[in-house]
């Protein structure tokens, strides 16, 4: 197994300001990380990681076949799930119901609106990955601009790499006490060009390449905000670029959410040169996510039959046409229902009433396009998918990763030298 280069560091001057505590105002120097360039590095995984990675790719391919050939609506379902979980990692807390309301223009939370933007950004980056390298700065910048649209503070910095120092944790005003300080802004463009070249390679196992690209992106932290959500989108986008997927989105952020601290700890392992641990973890997360998503596919595939049994619609009726459309388009208004069923508004309202009475549709409120409804079973399955992945969180770490995390925790809890 080849050793991956750990971060090095440089000490840089800090221009003090009048903000923050006295310690912030007198802060003068800080340490910034220097990631290695990786575009030409050799990658050799351990035998165990190679085995797990191959199994994960096989599971992803099977899930993709289900989404592309058997159950096309699964792709949209997985996109919504990935956006919700990826946003929750950043403490942007929404729910399937809130997302449904926001989608149809009903007053909802800022978190739901932000999560919708995350879904659009994920979809954008993965779609460009079908034709071009998703790590191209123009592709990343475009997805980042989509993500930042609802954010009046940070959208002015979107669609461009940062030109200021950022950091994670510690003070709000200076890098004092930061948990991690990404590279200085003057290094970002070169590192991002190197990441682009790394993602262009075809000699690497695709899932290992996607995992490393994600970790390297998070380490560079090229934007002022939104790095986590764009970096996780990049993981799926690289899989699309390498041809591992053609339709499915691996709901891997749900696996990260199952143990958020572990995810961040193993990003730290990557930065310490333990890339194999991180790739193994990503492969195990992908396996868990694919197993749970396959169960969701089975559940979703059975819903239209259950709905027909509950409603007992006439052949060719508006109610039957709506039932047949709900799996792929689980949200509707009376106007949308009339379009999908090719019927009059009154016939659409009558059909909606039947579906609501049978428990197929839930009234989710009134918005800019009138009263709105959602297929409740589809919304519920989003939460069920996350619960399934949470139940398998104990399977996401191999013994070496457990040992690494235990060692890091022991170091963090040990008293400092006097």
Residue 228 annotated as binding site: yes
Rounded-to-integer distance, Cα 9 and Cα 102, Å: 44
231 is in an annotated binding site: yes
Q: What's 415's DSSP letter? A: P
- Candidate from 41-45, 70-74, 148-152, 291-295 with smallest mean pLDDT: 70-74
- What's the rounded Cα separation, in Å, for the pair 360 and 325? 12
Are the C-beta atoms of 221 and 227 separated by less than 8 Å?
yes
Q: Distance between CA atoms of 133 and 18, rounded to whole angstroms? A: 43
305: exposed, middle or buried (Cβ count in 10 Å: 0-12, 13-18, 19+): exposed
- Can you give the pLDDT at residue 71? 75
122 vs 340: CA distance, rounded Å: 27
Residue 258 is classified by DSSP as: H
Report residue 383 as tokens: 């939460």
Percentage of residues of the chain with pLDDT beyond 90: 81
**Residue 130: is its pLDDT beyond 50?**
yes
Select the more confidently predicted residue: 51 or 411. Answer: 51
Distances (CA, A) of 338 to 43, 61, 233, 261, 346: 55, 37, 35, 47, 8
> According to the model, what pLDDT value does residue 22 have?
93
Q: Is 8 left (phi over 0), alpha (psi -120 to 50) or beta?
A: beta
Predicted confidence (pLDDT) per residue in 68-126, tens digit: 776 778 888 899 999 999 999 999 999 898 999 888 888 889 999 999 999 999 999 99
Instruction: Give CA–CA dist 218/182, Å, rounded.
Output: 9
Backbone angles phi, psi at 333, to 5 degrees: -120, 175
Looking at residue 367, its pLDDT comes to: 65
Going from the N-terminus, what domains does the chain have, and what CATH number goes with each? 8-295 (1.10.3290.10), 303-384 (1.10.10.10)
CA 379 to CA 81: how far, in whole Å?
10
> DSSP secondary-structure letter at 174?
S
93-94-97 Cα angle (round to 5)? 165
**Closest by alpha carbon to 33, among 215, 168, 171, 220?**
220
pLDDT band (50, 70, 90) for residue 394? confident
Q: Residue 80 annotated as binding? A: no
Q: How confident is the model at residue 413 (pLDDT cuts 50, 70, 90)?
A: confident
pLDDT of residue 415: 66
Known binder of ligand: residue 230?
A: yes
Sign of the alpha-carbon torsion through 87, 89, 91, 93: positive
- pLDDT at residue 370 tops 80: no
Q: Averaged over 324-330, what is the pLDDT?
A: 92
389/96 Cα distance (integer angstroms): 17
**Residue 226 marked as a ligand binder:** yes
How confident is the model at residue 308, as a pLDDT?
Answer: 97
* Contact of 326 with 304, CB cutoff 8 Å: yes
How would residue 146 be classed by pLDDT, with cut points 50, 70 and 90? very high
Of 142, 214, 221, 407, which one is the catalytic site residue?
Answer: 221
Cα angle, residue 218 at apex, residues 216 and 221 outer, rounded to 5°: 110
| pLDDT over threshold 60, residue 390 | yes
The predicted structure's pLDDT at residue 156: 76
Tens of pLDDT, residue by residue over 162-214, are 999 999 999 999 999 999 999 999 999 999 999 999 999 999 999 999 999 99
Which residues, in sequence order, are CB contacts of 379 under 8 Å at separation 6+?
A: 96, 97, 100, 330, 362
DSSP H or E segment with residue 362: strand 361-367
Known active-site residue 221: yes
Q: Is the pLDDT of residue 369 over 80?
A: no
Confidence of residue 418 (pLDDT cuts 50, 70, 90): very low
pLDDT digits (tens, 9 = 90+) for 250-296: 999 999 998 899 999 999 999 999 999 999 999 999 999 999 999 99
């Amino acid at each position: 197994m080849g050793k991956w280069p750990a971060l090095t560091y440089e000490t840089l001057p800090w221009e003090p300001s009048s903000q923050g505590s006295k310690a912030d105002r007198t802060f003068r120097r800080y340490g910034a990380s220097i990631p290695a360039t990786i575009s030409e590095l050799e990658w050799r995984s351990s035998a165990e990681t190679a085995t797990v990675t191959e199994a994960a790719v096989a599971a992803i391919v099977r899930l993709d076949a289900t989404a592309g050939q058997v159950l096309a609506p699964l792709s949209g379902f997985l996109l919504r799930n990935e956006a919700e979980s990826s946003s929750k990692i950043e403490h942007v807390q929404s729910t399937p119901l809130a997302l449904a309301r926001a989608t149809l223009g009903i007053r909802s939370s800022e978190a739901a609106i932000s999560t919708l933007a995350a879904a659009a950004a994920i979809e954008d980056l993965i779609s460009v990955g079908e034709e071009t390298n998703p790590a191209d700065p123009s592709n990343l910048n475009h997805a980042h601009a989509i993500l930042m649209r609802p954010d009046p503070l940070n959208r002015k910095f979107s669609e461009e790499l940062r030109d200021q120092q950022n950091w994670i944790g510690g003070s709000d005003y200076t890098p004092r006490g930061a948990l991690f300080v990404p590279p200085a802004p003057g290094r970002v463009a070169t590192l991002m060009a190197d990441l682009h070249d790394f993602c262009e390679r075809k000699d690497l196992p695709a899932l290992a390449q996607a995992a490393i690209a994600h970790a390297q992106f998070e380490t560079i932290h090229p934007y002022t905000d939104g790095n986590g959500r764009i970096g996780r989108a990049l993981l799926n986008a690289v899989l699309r670029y390498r041809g591992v997927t053609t339709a499915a989105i691996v709901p891997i952020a749900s696996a990260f959410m199952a143990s958020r601290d572990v995810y961040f700890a193993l990003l730290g392992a990557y930065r310490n040169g333990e890339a194999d641990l991180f790739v193994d973890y990503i492969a195990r997360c992908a396996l868990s996510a694919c197993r749970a998503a396959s169960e969701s596919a089975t559940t979703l595939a059975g819903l239209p039959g259950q709905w027909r049994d509950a409603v007992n619609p006439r052949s060719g009726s508006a109610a039957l046409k709506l039932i047949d459309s709900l799996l792929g388009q689980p949200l509707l208004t009376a106007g949308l229902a009339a379009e999908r069923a090719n019927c009059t508004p009154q016939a659409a309202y009558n059909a909606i009433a039947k579906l609501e009475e049978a428990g197929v549709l839930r009234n989710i409120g009134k918005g800019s396009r009138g009263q709105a409804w959602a297929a409740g079973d589809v919304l519920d399955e989003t939460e069920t998918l996350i619960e399934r992945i949470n139940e398998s969180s104990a399977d996401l770490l191999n013994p070496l990763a457990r040992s690494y995390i235990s060692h890091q925790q022991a170091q963090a809890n040990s008293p400092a030298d006097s």
